[in-house]
Amino acid sequence: MTKPSLKGSFPPTSTVDAMEFELAAHSCLVLTGPSGVGKTTLLRKIADLDPHDGVISLGPIKQGDLPAPEWRRRVMYVASNSGWWAGRVRDHFSVDDNTLVLIDAFAVGRDKLDASPSHLSTGERQRMALVRALSLQPDFLLLDEPTSALDHETALKVKAVLADRKRSGCGLLVVTHDSAQAERLSDGMLRMRAR
């Protein structure tokens, strides 16, 4: 059985041209466009976090057909500013062999699991937020600047994990300013044009 692809089409607004995309499983699209054009907002709409008048579907299923929490578990948005609500990092996801492997692969110390999120550096929080999302095994990941706070070497480690996920079937839609990252991961570009 082939995995469904994520499709979307958005009518033009006063500031952005109409756009359409299809993101297959096992593939990665990089979302580009001038800053301020609404790339973050587009990811949020695809995750159904912002109201919109586009049409988005996952295979035959329309966004509105699924309860929103279920949609978001399958089409998961990872914000550039990660949010934390509990006292320790480990309270935010289940810590098991899979997540420990990820944490090691991302080169974050395991001791950070017991720290308060506010005591982590921005880059550590960014990687832990990725671990948290990956641990739920979504079908698609919508990543907003996933390596913006990371040095080159660490960013490579994150990209390696993402490439791995892609191979095992996860579809990726990534907003990034790092063109090297785009080159390495992406199977295509999705351009947003200002009107």
Partner 1 sequence: MVIALTPVDLVTAVALMLTSAGLSLFLSLGFHKGMVWASIRMVVQLLLVGSLLRLVFRQDSAALTVLIFLAMLTAAAHEVGARQPRRLQGGWRHLINGAAVSMSTIFVSAFALVTVLGADNWLEPAHAIPIGGIILGTAMNSASIALNALLSNIGNERDAIEAQLALGGSRFSALSPLMRRAVNAGIIPVMNQMVGAGIITMPGIMSGQILAGQDPLNAATYQVFLMLLLAASGTASAIFAVYFTVFRLSDERHRLRLDRLEDERRPKG
Q: Does residue 85 interact with partner 1 by CB under 8 A?
A: yes
For partner 1, the binding residue among 5, 27, 32, 40 (CB under 8 A) is 40
Binders of partner 1 among residues 101 to 140 (CB under 8 A) are 129, 132-133, 136
- Residue 15, amino acid: T
Selected range binding partner 1 among 63-71, 106-114, 150-158, 163-171, rule: CB under 8 A: 63-71
Q: Does residue 96 interact with partner 1 by CB under 8 A?
A: no
Draw the binding track, 134-163, toward partner 1 (x: CB under 8 A; -: no contact). --x---------------------------
Selected range binding partner 1 among 5-13, 49-57, 105-113, 163-171, rule: CB under 8 A: 49-57
In three state form, how does the secondary structure of the chain look? CCCCCEEEEECCCCCECCEEEEECCCCEEEEECCCCCCHHHHHHHHCCCCCCCCEEEECCEEHHHCCHHHHHHHEEEECCCCCCCCCCHHHHCCCCHHHHHHHHHCCCCHHHHHCCHHHCCHHHHHHHHHHHHHHCCCCEEEEECCCCCCCHHHHHHHHHHHHHHHHCCCEEEEECCCHHHHHHHCCEEEECCEC
Taking the complex as a whole, how short is the minimal distance between the CB of residue 66 and partner 1, in angstroms?
Answer: 10
Taking the complex as a whole, how short is the minimal distance between the CB of residue 132 and partner 1, in angstroms?
Answer: 7
Q: Does residue 60 interact with partner 1 by CB under 8 A?
A: no
**Residues at the contact surface with partner 1, assessed by CB under 8 A:** 36-44, 47-51, 64, 67-70, 72-73, 76-79, 81-85, 129, 132-133, 136
